[in-house]
């Protein structure tokens, strides 16, 4: 039995959809996440209130293709204080203040030495940069450039209460079984601390899409993967290599909550089904969009699309990474998220899902000449039948191209009509016993 999408109906972009995602983002924002550690676990525990998650714990030292799972990092406190105890920089105020994977420290540091371990954004002097040192052990703190300029004492006490020890890398999957075993992979990284658009927005949108699909009984099986960037996808790929042949379509989700228009980065193949599907959906969406070819830089699509795997995985974003000024800084805070943008991103993904699961190839049961549609209740006045989600042109295109060689997506692309209209017309023709699916 074929999964039936919301034929011809508008996918909800109601304000409450965006508001509920924003509330979840607000709850998750203060958590200090990294590529390992308790921040990831705490985040996944919150997400498990909304969707069922299968959590994996991969020990430090485990081989992940050419990489190795690193030691686990956790931080409890970090600050710079004057010698009288007054704190001038404090992790409690913003978790971006600590260099990710900073080694522990508690000593008096001369200002000249301290400056070598401080990171700022001179071009944005009121923002704290997001900096990491995952694979090179050192210590450091991040601060605004104005705060750096205010450091005038000869010495400061520096405390970084962190641990870097053997532990685990944590990731989670939400698997929504469909009518068939063929899979759609949806991946987002979960390693960023208090950064709202990158990538908290994608986490909440993915969660709500998974929640929607649980109630939709999809045709494909959908696999949502919440992973730390790079090392997470490498670890997941190394542990699931035998299953990768089941993946028909894939998307990496990121930066989905700001006011920018939708951007889609194609898979390495450039002509995979997901590339065609997203292009069609965006073409029939109101507003601007941009489609760019694959480049081996960005998010985890570069791991999924590495030549040894070459999976059909693209990347869906609004403002792409590095193309908005607040990227990787404290400027990427909750004020950057727009409820209407979150709702629109979710709606676009629902439309993509409708095409993925609704794309079928049919053969006409009456291919010699046009069948008489009027006596079957399928022909009205000019432009009629739109209340059913399609018009007469959709019927005529489907009848003409239903030769067993053209899928519904082929028909939508050739006709220039929305997939939902083509699908609704096809369903009406199937109900009238004028089409049959090609098995």
Domain with 130 in it: what CATH number? Answer: 3.50.30.90
pLDDT of residue 388: 57
Answer yes or no: is pLDDT of 301 > 80.
yes
Would 1 be classed as within a structural domain?
no
Q: Which residue has the tokens 């997001």?
A: 130
* CATH code assigned at 407: 1.10.10.10
pLDDT of residue 368: 92
Answer yes or no: is pLDDT of 237 > 50.
yes
Give the whole-angstrom CA distance, residue 324 versus residue 336: 11
Please check whether residues 311 and 218 belong to one and the same domain.
yes
Give the whole-angstrom CA distance, residue 348 versus residue 351: 5
Answer yes or no: is pLDDT of 417 > 80.
yes
Tell me which residue range forms the domain holding 412: 361-437
Give the whole-angstrom CA distance, residue 251 versus residue 275: 10
pLDDT band at 385 (very low <50, low <70, confident <90, very high): low
Give the whole-angstrom CA distance, residue 187 versus residue 175: 12
Please check whether residues 214 and 329 belong to one and the same domain.
yes
pLDDT band at 387 (very low <50, low <70, confident <90, very high): low
pLDDT of residue 391: 82
**Known binding-site residue numbers for Zn(2+):** 192, 198, 328
Compute the mean pLDDT over every residue in the chain, rounded to the nearest whole number: 94
pLDDT of residue 377: 85
Would 7 be classed as within a structural domain?
no
pLDDT of residue 386: 56
Residue 8, both tokens: 């011809």
Q: How many helices (H) and strands (E) does the chain have?
A: 12, 19
Q: What whole-number percentage of the chain has pLDDT above 90?
A: 90
Give this prediction's pTM.
0.93
Q: What whole-number percentage of the chain has pLDDT above 70?
A: 94
Task: State the average pLDDT over residues 373-379.
Answer: 86
Please check whether residues 208 and 315 belong to one and the same domain.
yes
Answer yes or no: is pLDDT of 8 > 50.
no
Please check whether residues 334 and 371 belong to one and the same domain.
no
Question: What would the pLDDT profile of 51-103 be if each residue is shown by its tens digit?
Answer: 999 999 999 999 999 999 999 999 999 999 999 999 999 999 999 999 999 99
Task: State the average pLDDT over residues 102-115.
Answer: 98
Number of domains in the chain: 3
**Known binding-site residue numbers:** 192, 198, 328
pLDDT of residue 227: 98
Would 8 be classed as within a structural domain?
no
Would 28 be classed as within a structural domain?
yes
- Considering only CA atoms, give the Rg of the chain: 25
pLDDT of residue 380: 66
Taking phi first (over 0 means left), then psi (-120 to 50 degrees means alpha), and beta for anything else, what does residue 277 get?
alpha
Would 2 be classed as within a structural domain?
no
Question: What would the pLDDT profile of 135-171 be if each residue is shown by its tens digit?
Answer: 999 999 999 999 999 999 999 999 999 999 999 999 9
Task: State the average pLDDT over residues 167-186.
Answer: 98
pLDDT band at 338 (very low <50, low <70, confident <90, very high): very high
Please check whether residues 288 and 240 belong to one and the same domain.
yes
What separation in angstroms does the CA of 156 have from each of 93, 122, 126, 135, 152? 18, 22, 22, 27, 10
Task: State the average pLDDT over residues 285-302.
Answer: 95
pLDDT of residue 9: 33
pLDDT of residue 13: 54
DSSP 279-302: HHHHHTSSS-EEEE---S-SSTHH
Please check whether residues 112 and 147 belong to one and the same domain.
yes
* CATH code assigned at 210: 3.40.630.10
Domain end, chosen from 146, 165, 184, is at 165
Short-list 85, 82, 80, CA closest to 159: 80
273-283 vs 339-358: helix crossing angle, rounded to 10: 130
Answer yes or no: is pLDDT of 381 > 80.
no
Please check whether residues 336 and 246 belong to one and the same domain.
yes
Please check whether residues 292 and 180 belong to one and the same domain.
yes
Domain end, chosen from 105, 133, 165, is at 165
Q: Which residue has the tokens 């089941």?
A: 246
Identify whether the C-beta of residue 404 lies closer than 8 Å to the C-beta of residue 438: yes
pLDDT of residue 335: 97
Please check whether residues 182 and 144 belong to one and the same domain.
no
């Amino acid at each position: 039995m074929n999964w039936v999408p919301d034929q011809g109906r508008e996918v909800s972009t109601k304000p409450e959809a965006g508001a509920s995602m924003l509330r979840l983002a607000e709850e998750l924002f203060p958590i200090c996440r990294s590529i390992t550690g308790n921040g990831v676990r705490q985040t996944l525990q919150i997400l498990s209130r909304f969707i069922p998650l299968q959590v994996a714990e991969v020990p430090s030292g485990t081989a992940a293709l050419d990489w190795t799972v690193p030691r686990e990092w956790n931080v409890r406190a970090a600050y710079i204080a004057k010698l009288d105890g007054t704190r001038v920089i404090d992790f409690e105020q913003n978790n971006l203040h600590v260099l990710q994977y900073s080694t522990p420290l508690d000593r008096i540091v001369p200002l000249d030495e301290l400056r070598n371990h401080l990171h700022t954004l001179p071009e944005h002097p009121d923002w704290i940069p997001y900096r990491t040192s995952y694979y090179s052990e050192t210590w450091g703190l991040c601060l605004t450039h104005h705060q750096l300029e205010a450091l005038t004492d000869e010495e400061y006490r520096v405390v970084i209460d962190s641990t870097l020890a053997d532990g685990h890398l944590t990731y989670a999957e939400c698997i929504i079984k469909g009518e068939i075993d063929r899979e759609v992979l949806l991946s987002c990284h979960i390693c960023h601390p208090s950064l709202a658009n990158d990538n908290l927005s994608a986490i909440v949108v993915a969660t709500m899409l998974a929640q929607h699909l649980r109630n939709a009984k999809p045709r494909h099986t959908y696999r949502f993967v919440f992973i730390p960037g790079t090392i997470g996808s490498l670890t997941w790929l190394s542990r699931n290599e035998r299953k990768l042949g089941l993946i028909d379509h894939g998307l990496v989700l990121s930066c989905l909550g700001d006011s920018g228009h939708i951007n889609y980065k194609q898979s390495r193949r450039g002509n995979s089904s997901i590339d065609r599907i997203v292009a069609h959906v965006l073409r029939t969406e109101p507003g601007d969009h941009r489609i760019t070819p694959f480049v081996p830089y960005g998010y985890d699509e570069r791991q999924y699309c590495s030549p040894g795997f070459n999976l059909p995985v693209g990347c869906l974003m609004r403002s792409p990474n590095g193309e908005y000024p607040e990227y990787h800084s404290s400027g990427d805070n909750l004020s950057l998220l727009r409820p209407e943008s979150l709702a629109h991103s979710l709606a676009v993904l629902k439309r993509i899902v409708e095409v993925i699961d609704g794309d079928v190839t049919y053969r006409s049961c009456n291919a010699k000449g046009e069948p008489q549609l009027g006596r079957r209740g399928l022909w009205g006045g000019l432009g009629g039948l739109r209340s059913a989600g399609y018009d007469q042109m959709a019927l005529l295109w489907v009848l003409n191209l239903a030769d067993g060689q053209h899928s519904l997506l082929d028909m939508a692309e050739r006709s220039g009509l929305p997939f939902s209209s083509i699908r609704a017309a096809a369903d009406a023709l199937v109900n009238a016993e004028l089409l049959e699916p090609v098995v």
